[in-house]
Structure formats: structure tokens, C-alpha cells
Amino acid sequence: MRLDALAGNAALKQQLSAQEKGRGLSHAYLISGPAGSGKRTLARLLCAAMVCTGEGERPCGACPACKKVLSGIHPDVIQVGEDGKDISVGQAREARSDAYIRPNEGARKVYVFHNAQDMTAAAQNALLKLLEEGPAYAAFLLLAENPGSVLTTIRSRCEGAALTPVTAAEAEYELARRFPHLPREQRHAAAKRCGGLLGRAVAELEGQETGEQLQVEASQFLDLITQKNELEFAAWCVCLEKWERGDLVLLLEHLQALLRDALALQRGLSPTAASPGELPVLQGAAALPPQKLLALAELIRKLRNDAAFHVNTGQLCGALAAGVYGGNL
């Protein structure tokens, strides 16, 4: 099996590969390990291997089925409880009736149950029936931080796949592959801090990247407003439309904080939210008339609130462009 996307865990990867070559993959796995140990990565690889239509070693990563699994859109791979909420007995029953509907595209249908350790006993019992009596084409992957909190009856019907922390060298190697543009020291520090739980280091570096980009964009916003560069501001708003809503919300919140800082500066107070790199644009913004700053702050506050009501990013960016240069400010 091609499992190199999962860092470390050499023994487990060898065991799964041998199994796939021999009697074939099992119909149920209990994938366990602490948060950040790679449970989702392994689940994704197993799902892809089960529905892969490529030749040779699986998952090939290149066939349409693999590509759909890797981008999370394969209709025969069903995620249950991915939103982090506890899986209810209703959801377990729903999966049970859905399992009897034949696969849409492939030969198999794979169900991934997240946070299996938090399922109620009733939900686990509903799941147990599915594991025992489910159709032959159905496969089940249960993800749990602590396999001990999953009912013994369920555990006994699943193959165990226990993930272990990776070494600092393995973590660093993987981080270099995913974040080649970041400085080596930054990756090294994140690899050391994560204690072998690679997912934590990835989340940390992604968070830092987002934070840095937010600061760059927020500075750009204040700069364009201060310079009254209407054309460039419109172009900047168009670029923002491609952002994910969550990131856009973070940007609006950071802008709210910066505008508060600019108003504080006008009153001779010290800024609290701006990073040292943002101080020059903040001083530029503080030179704007107070009414304009207040109107801007109100506009950003309103857009931040609208963002909570499923307004799409295109509408938010359009409203931002119209709000700033629509004659109200």
C-alpha cells in the first residue's frame, strides 16, 4: 500500500500493506491515537485504497476515485460526526439504513465515524449491528483518541490500528515537505514543540501563516484607505472574494481591533492589538478625521455581524468596497 502521506508509524504501515497484499483490507478498523497523531490522514488513505480504481499499488492517488477521496467529495465515502459533535443514535441508525443502498460509483462504500470514544452506548449498539450485519461492500473506520472507551463488543469486531507519535526528525521531514517556504528554524521549533503529534505542528504553522497573512492584508487595507487609492482598493476587495469565510471573519475582526487602536492613538493612548510591523500604517490611519475612522469601524463591525449570517464572501467584499467608496465615508 502507498501510505507515505502518513508520517512515521513504519510498523503499522508495514502491517497494513502486508494485510492488503494478503487477505485484503478488513471491513472495519478502529484507528486510535491522541489528537494530532494522524487518525484522519490514515482514514483518508484507507478510504482511497478501498475505492481506488488505479492499477498497481493502492491508493494510486491519481485515479478519479482517489482524487475525490483526497478532496473530500467521494459520494461513497461517508463521514459521520466530522463536525466534532457527538454521534447520536439517530446518526448511527441513519448510517445503518444508508449502508443498504448500493455504492454510487465504486465497488465499496466506506463510513468514517469520528470521535468514536464519545458515542453514547445506544449509538454504539446501533453501530454494532451495522458492523455485524452490514453488506459485504460496506467498510467502517472508527476514529478514537482512546480505544479503551469504545465498547468491547465493537472493539472485538474491528482490527486495531494504533497510531504512535513520530520522532522529531520524522516530524521535521514532513513539515519541510508541507511548508517548504517557511524558515527551517520555524519548522524545527514546531517539530520540537509538538511532542511527536505532527497534526499539532501543522496546525501551529498553518495558524502562523494565516496570522501573518492577516496582518499583511490588514495593513494593506489601512494603507489604501489612508492613501485614498480607490482603484487599488477595489482590486484588493476582488482578491479577498477568493478567501474562505472563516479567514475573512478573522481579517474583519483584526481590522476592528486596528481601527480601535487608530482611534486610541488619536486620543494619545497606546495601541493594544497592532503588531510592531503594523505601527506605521496605524499612524497613517490615525491621521484620518475621527468621524471617518468611526464610520469605518462601524462599517467593519456591521460586515463582521453579517458574516455570521451566511452572507457569501462575494457579497461581503462587494459591501466592503461599496461601503468605503459609496459616498458614506
- In the bound state with Zn ion, the residue whose beta carbon lies nearer, of 47 and 316, is 47
State how far the Cα of 196 lies from the Cα of 200, in Å rounded to an integer: 9
Q: How many residues at the interface with Zn ion, by CB under 5 A?
A: 6
How far apart are CB 195 and Zn ion at their closest, in Å? 33
Q: Given the complex with Zn ion, which of 77 and 131 has the nearer CB atom?
A: 77
Alpha carbon distances (Å) from 65 to 1, 15, 69, 242: 16, 24, 6, 27
Burial 67-96 (b: 16+ CB within 10 A, else e): ebbbeeebebbbbbbeeeeebbbebbbebb
Q: What is the largest CA-CA distance in the chain?
A: 75
**Binding track over 58-77 against Zn ion, x by CB under 5 A:** -xx--x--x-----------
Q: How far is the CB of 18 from Zn ion (least distance, A)?
A: 20
Least Cβ distance, residue 13 to Zn ion (angstroms): 18
Q: Which is nearer to Zn ion, 50 or 205 (CB)?
A: 50
Q: Which residue has the cell 479577498?
A: 240
Phi-psi category of residue 56: left, alpha or beta, with phi > 0 → left and psi -120 to 50 → alpha: left
How far apart CA 196 and CA 179 sit, in angstroms, is: 17
DSSP string, 223-254: HHHHHT-HHHHHHHHHHHTTS-HHHHHHHHHH
Residue 52 interacting with Zn ion (CB under 5 A) = yes
Closest approach of Zn ion to the CB of residue 95, in Å: 24
Q: Which stretch binds Zn ion (CB under 5 A): 53-61, 115-123, 184-192, 250-258?
A: 53-61
Residue 274 interacts with Zn ion (CB under 5 A)? no
Least Å distance, CB 48 to Zn ion, is 6
**C-beta of 104 vs 291, nearer to Zn ion:** 104
* Residues of span 170-189 touching Zn ion by CB under 5 A: none
Phi, psi of 92 (to 5 degrees): -65, -40
Q: What is the residue type of 189? A: A
> What is the smallest separation between the CB atom of 41 and Zn ion, expressed in angstroms?
16
- Nearest Cα to Cα of residue 208 among 223, 190, 194: 190
Residue 257 touches Zn ion, criterion: CB under 5 A: no
CB of residue 58 vs Zn ion: minimum separation in angstroms? 6
When binding is defined by CB under 5 A, the residue of 5, 19, 26, 54 that contacts Zn ion is 54
Q: Report whether 33 contacts 145 (CB < 8 A).
A: yes
Is the Cβ of residue 141 or residue 258 nearer to Zn ion in the bound state?
141
Chain residues binding Zn ion by CB under 5 A are 52, 54, 59-60, 63, 66
